[in-house]
Amino acid sequence: MGTLNSRTITIAIERSHKEIYEFVHNPENFPKWVTSFCLSARKSGDDWIMETTEGPMSIRFEERNNFGVLDHYVRFASGEEIMNPVRVIPNGSGSVVIFTLYQMPDISDERFNTDSGMVENDLNTLKSILEK
């Protein structure tokens, strides 16, 4: 597999990077802000399982860190796993969340555009929740 097409989506949120990090790092919060496809999330042993519009998926984060790295891996029922690079960085009185979406080889340009819109909507939902 060569280099994948990617799109980076950013949003400014008027909350500290630490508060955003803690909220996003908790999979229990996914149904609150990843409303484009996450219906629920539950702990199952050492794993987190999300019930989604596309069936169950597991999710795991990189180790907790002080650098704002929120990279997470999503494993589909098929066993395929993708990594979603996410960063939260301080920006003045708030923060910027940066999400990089990869276009997997079997995803059409149309679907990639749809997925990009879903990520943008989810980040807007995150902003709306955290700025209340």
> Which residues form the domain of 90?
5-130
Can you give the pLDDT at residue 47? 87
Residues of the chain where predicted confidence (pLDDT) is lower than 70? 1
Domain count along the chain: 1
CATH number for position 99: 3.30.530.20
CB atoms within 10 A of CB 71: 15
**What does the pLDDT read at residue 4?**
93
